[in-house]
């Protein structure tokens, strides 16, 4: 394990050159100050990832004095782990616009700065989503040329497979052209990362009939129909959940409500079942016997198994994980970053826009 300091340019450069010796090796930045319980789950997830994918390098970014003692609790001998100091932290309850302007040396700025400067291939964080968005679009990576609005993207773990859902929160107010670009970016992600050959793209609406919806959805429908994408029409939530589509598109307000309602309902229902099963000795015994079944259900819809989703439309791979992530979720988010880098998602989005401009 080595310590790097962004101000120590020479050392940094040397290390980077060395690591770049084998171009197949990836360098993934993990924001150590991300989760609600940072740095504990973050560091543990990074250590697990370094152990699993030994050829790649994990760069922990954050306050050295916080990360180092936490790292000392793990056996890191022989692991491809680095530490880059960043003195400031964008906290969960910080207001993104102000905090990202005021804390230019945050782990987000430093971490995404490494990706911008070509010193790392991807950045992973479980931190303040608004902060990630602001630091990515305004301060470091910036939007891909031609992209009107980057989209926060969820990879929904559903019983029958994964669904790429975007925008789930970056843009509360949208225009039809933004949604068209979300669909294009989601299509790229589903092809390059999930391995769908010709992703089925759906538009979330309040009815399945063509052109049913609010004005935004109606106008977007027409754009998607003539987009060349494999657009399969309007989907109500039940279709979106039962995975008859690979990509589901919505504005960031609707998408955020959709995904949060999904999470909240699942939690409400499982809490209620747990409570009622425990309420009586006989049902409690039944619950114990049925436990493996509940375990199988939980694994099929476990967001921590996915780990995180990409912020699509910026010049670099950025994966955002849930603030409540545990070590497994962080490790899996790093896994998502690896897949996005391997799939060449950022270049594919750039190329897609190129075709678009030429076509």
Question: What residues between 53 and 112 interact with a second copy by CB under 8 A?
Answer: none
Q: Is 359 in the site for a second copy (CB under 8 A)?
A: no
**Number of residues lying near a second copy (CB under 8 A):** 57
Sequence-separated (6 or more) residues with CB below 8 Å from residue 350: 144, 145
- What are the DSSP E strand ranges found in 137-226? 151-158, 161-166, 200-204
DSSP 304-355: HHH-EEEEETBSSEEEEE-TT--HHHHHHHHHHHHHHHHTTHHHHHHHHHHH
Q: Is 269 in the site for a second copy (CB under 8 A)?
A: yes
Shorter beta-carbon distance to a second copy: residue 253 or 350: 253
How many residues can be counted in the chain? Answer: 359
SS3 198: coil
Shorter beta-carbon distance to a second copy: residue 256 or 336: 256
Sequence-separated (6 or more) residues with CB below 8 Å from residue 349: 144, 147, 184, 185, 188, 312, 313
Q: Is 262 in the site for a second copy (CB under 8 A)?
A: yes
Tell me the closest approach of the beta carbon of residue 313 to a second copy, in angstroms.
Answer: 19
Q: Is 241 in the site for a second copy (CB under 8 A)?
A: yes
Question: What whole-number distance in Å separates Cα of residue 118 and Cα of residue 78?
Answer: 25
First to last CA, the chain: 49
Question: What whole-number distance in Å separates Cα of residue 62 and Cα of residue 30?
Answer: 9
Q: Is 177 in the site for a second copy (CB under 8 A)?
A: no
Among 11, 72, 97, 272, indicate the residue that binds a second copy (CB under 8 A). Answer: 272
Question: What whole-number distance in Å separates Cα of residue 225 and Cα of residue 231?
Answer: 6
Q: For a second copy, which stretch binds (CB under 8 A), given 9-17, 269-277, 311-319, 328-336?
A: 269-277
Among 5, 40, 253, 342, indicate the residue that binds a second copy (CB under 8 A). Answer: 253
SS3 278: helix
Among 296, 357, 358, 359, indicate the residue that binds a second copy (CB under 8 A). Answer: 296
Q: For a second copy, which stretch binds (CB under 8 A), given 40-48, 268-276, 316-324, 346-354?
A: 268-276
Binding site for a second copy (CB under 8 A): 158-159, 169, 172-173, 204, 206, 213-215, 217, 236-238, 240-242, 251-254, 256-258, 260-270, 272-273, 276-277, 279-280, 282-283, 285-294, 296-297, 300-301
């Amino acid at each position: 394990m080595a310590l790097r300091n962004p101000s120590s340019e020479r050392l940094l450069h040397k290390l980077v050159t060395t690591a770049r010796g084998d171009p197949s090796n990836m360098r993934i930045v993990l924001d150590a100050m991300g989760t609600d319980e940072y740095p504990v789950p973050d560091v543990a997830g990074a250590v697990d990832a370094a152990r699993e994918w030994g050829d790649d390098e994990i760069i922990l970014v954050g306050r050295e004095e916080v990360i180092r003692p936490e790292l000392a609790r793990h056996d890191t001998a022989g692991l491809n782990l680095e530490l880059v100091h960043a003195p400031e932290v964008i906290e969960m309850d910080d207001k993104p616009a102000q905090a990202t302007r005021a804390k230019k040396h945050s782990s987000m700025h430093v971490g995404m700065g490494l990706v911008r400067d070509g010193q790392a291939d991807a950045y992973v964080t479980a931190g303040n989503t608004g902060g990630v968005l602001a630091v990515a679009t305004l301060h470091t990576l910036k939007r891909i040329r031609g992209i009107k609005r980057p989209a926060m993207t969820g990879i929904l773990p559903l019983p029958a497979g994964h669904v790429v859902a975007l925008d789930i929160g970056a843009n509360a107010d949208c225009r039809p052209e933004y949604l068209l670009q979300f669909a294009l970016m989601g299509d790229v992600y589903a092809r390059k990362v999930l391995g769908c050959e010709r992703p089925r793209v759906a538009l979330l609406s309040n009815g399945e009939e063509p052109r049913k919806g609010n004005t935004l959805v109606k106008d977007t429908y027409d754009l998607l129909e003539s987009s060349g994408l494999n657009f399969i029409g309007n989907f109500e939530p039940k279709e979106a959940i039962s995975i008859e589509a690979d990509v589901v598109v919505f504005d960031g307000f609707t998408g955020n409500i959709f995904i949060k309602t999904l999470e909240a309902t699942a939690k409400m229902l499982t809490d209620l079942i747990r409570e009622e099963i425990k309420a009586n000795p006989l049902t409690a015994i039944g619950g114990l016997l049925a436990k493996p079944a509940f375990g199988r259900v939980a694994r099929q819809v476990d967001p921590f198994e996915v780990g995180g989703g990409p912020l699509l439309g910026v010049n670099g791979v950025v994966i955002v994980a849930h603030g409540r992530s545990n070590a497994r979720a962080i490790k899996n988010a790093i896994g998502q970053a690896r897949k996005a880098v391997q799939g060449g998602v950022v270049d594919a989005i750039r190329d897609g826009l190129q075709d678009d401009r030429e076509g």
